[in-house]
Every structure is written in C-alpha cells, then in structure tokens.
C-alpha cells in the first residue's frame, strides 16, 4: 500500500493519495479552508489498536450514537498541514503495528 515512498515510480497508493489531496487543496480557491486529520487503526483478532496513541492511555472502541453515527471513541486524530506531516504520522503508526512473517510477506500486518 505504501511502496517505496521516496521513489516516485515505486510509490504506493497511500503516498499517491496523500499527494493528490494536498495538490487539490493547493489548486483550490483561497477562500476555502480545509482541515486534514490523520488516524491509523489496527484491527487484529477482534481487538482495536490506535497506532498513533503511543502510550495507549485510553482504549479505542467502536461506538454509535444517533447524532454522530458510527465512530471510534478515543481515536487520536491529529491535524496535519502538509504531506511531510502525514508521512511522519504514517511512520509512527507503522512502527506501532503488530507484524509477523508469513510465507507470502515478511512484514504482513497482523
């Protein structure tokens, strides 16, 4: 999904989408304001882990209310201003993933 993020030809879908979002914002009229938030959630064996919450102080849970609809309670969602900030959060989230080797993929997500 991420590919080789520093190589333009080998970039995966995630960095390409991030580039596209910020390109769209750059080409938008100045009177329009955008708020971009980043979150990374891992689902493994019916357990949720917020990959951006380093200390894991509050557990994340799926909730639903009539006003908000379905949402993830206690999910960390920092605001970002450019592609480099998104990539920094991706690096943090990736370092917190639970991974294990499989016969098909050495960094398979768990």
Q: What are 21-80's pLDDT values in tens digits?
A: 999 999 999 999 999 999 999 988 888 889 998 776 788 999 999 999 999 999 999 999
Domain count, the chain: 1
Residue 18 within a domain: no
Residue 89 within a domain: yes
Residue 65 within a domain: yes
Residues 6+ apart with CB under 8 A from 13: 1, 3
Residue 27 within a domain: no
pTM: 0.74
List the domain range (segments joined by +) for residue 79: 35-109
Residue 15 within a domain: no
CB 82 within 8 A of CB 22: yes
Residue 90 within a domain: yes
Residue 82 within a domain: yes
pLDDT value at 19 more than 80:
yes
């Amino acid at each position: 999904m991420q590919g080789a993020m520093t190589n333009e030809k080998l970039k995966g879908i995630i960095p390409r989408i991030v580039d596209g979002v910020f390109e769209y914002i750059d080409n938008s009229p100045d009177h329009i304001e955008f708020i971009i938030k980043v979150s990374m959630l891992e689902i493994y064996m019916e357990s949720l882990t917020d990959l951006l919450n380093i200390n894991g102080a509050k557990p994340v849970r799926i909730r639903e209310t009539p006003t908000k609809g379905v949402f993830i309670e206690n999910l960390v969602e920092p605001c970002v201003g450019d592609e480099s900030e998104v990539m920094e959060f991706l690096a943090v989230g990736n370092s917190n993933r639970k991974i294990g080797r499989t016969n098909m993929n050495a960094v398979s997500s768990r």
